[in-house]
Amino acid sequence: MSTSGPRLSRLMTMVPWLLAHDGVTIDTAAAHFGISAEQCEKDLWLLVVCGLPGHMPDQLVDIQFWDDGRIHVVDPQTLDRPLRLSGDEVMSLIVALRLLVQVPGSHDRATLITLIERLESSLDSAMTSAAMVVDVGVSNTTTLVIEEALRENRKLSIIYAAGTDDLVTDRVVQPLGVITTGGHTYLEGFCERADAIRTFRIDRIIAVSLAEPMPLKRQIPGSVPKETTASVRLRAHARWAIDIYPFTDVLEAADGTIEAQLAFRDPHWLVHVVLSMKGDLQVVAPLEARKWVADAAAAASRSYS
């Protein structure tokens, strides 16, 4: 069965292609669009009842294909060439691609840059200038070093500025990968200082360099836990935390209170974040996570009594 979204896209490109390949068979057209001959014929029957408002005979797309199995476009109406992206659509693509270029990963940057240049060439100079200022605050050097560490299985030595207390620390991290969530990109890895898995917002990494090779068997206690989320509630005056931690599905109530999901892998990390917020961040669910925080808070209280 053909879903409406992909089918609409196919129909919009089918008429210009058929016009450029006059006399092509239904089987050949079906193969080109990756559909069955039966589906191709259904698409053709749908196209011939499409057209301009009024739907008079001279306002409909006219395609002949039922005589000898060959397709001839007699009148394409306004579908004689592929649709062009609007200026706003091109700008959106350029913004997304420029962000992707700055994110560490295995993607081909040369190809992305070439595509960006081709898209920019289709815009006027004013719109291109607006697209040029997109920046996620991640230096190219940081990106390249992280990629090299992941590729060559090397540890990373980083100087990191925490967002909560402005504390700057030196850390050695065994990188596990890069994740992007909530508009920010994070390095995920085993922090030897914390002896646990941590996430580091890449634009808060002040300096980074390659360290020694990773051990053949990574010294990570247990297996790497699967990422999960906790439902949390954030007080209005603490919304700054949204820019620091990997929150998703953020909803703001009329009183400014924020409901969101907080991604985490290490329960100890979640507990640390919640307690460091001193009541401004509360775990709503799951119950297990609420218990982690309650137990840790009780233990901390006992240590002061």
pLDDT mean over 214-241: 71
Helical H segments across the chain, by residue range: 4-20, 26-33, 37-47, 87-101, 109-121, 125-132, 140-152, 267-276, 287-304
How far is 258 from 283, CA to CA, in rounded Å?
Answer: 12
pLDDT at 296: 80
pLDDT digits (tens, 9 = 90+) for 101-138: 666 666 676 777 788 778 877 776 555 555 455 555 55
> Which range (26-30, 162-166, 229-233) has the least confidence?
162-166
> Structural domain boundaries of the chain?
4-75, 87-132, 140-213, 228-304
CA dist., res. 253 & res. 218, Å (int): 44
Residues 6+ apart with CB under 8 A from 102: 135, 136, 138, 140, 143
Q: Which CATH number fits domain 4-75: 1.10.10, 3.30.70, 1.10.357, 2.40.50?
A: 1.10.10
Mean pLDDT across 9-18: 83
Both tokens of 210, joined, read: 């390659």
Q: State the CATH architecture for 140-213.
A: Roll (2.30)
- pLDDT value at position 283? 92
- Residue whose C-alpha is closest to residue 138's, from 198, 184, 197: 184
| pLDDT at residue 233, as a whole number | 92
Q: Which residues contact 206 (CB under 8 A, 6 or more apart)?
A: 158, 159, 160, 161, 168
Q: What is the pLDDT of residue 165?
A: 60
Same fold for the domain at 4-75 and the one at 140-213?
Answer: no
Structure confidence by residue, pLDDT tens digits, 248-265:
888 888 888 889 988 887
Q: Cβ neighbours of residue 169 under 8 Å, at least 6 residues apart?
A: 159, 160, 162, 193
Give the distance, in angstroms, between the CA of residue 222 and the centroid of all CA atoms in the same chain: 29
Look at residue 5 in the predicted model and tell me its pLDDT: 63
Q: In the predicted model, is pLDDT for residue 175 greater than 80? A: yes
If you ran DSSP here, which 8-state letter would residue 70 be given? Answer: B
More confident residue, 267 or 38: 38
pLDDT of 224 reads 47
Q: What is the pLDDT of residues 21-72, one digit of tens each?
A: 888 898 898 888 888 888 888 888 888 888 777 667 677 888 888 877 788 8
User: In the Cβ-directed half-sphere of 243, how many Cα atoms lie within 13 Å?
Assistant: 10
Q: Is 3.30.70 the CATH classification of the domain at 228-304?
A: yes
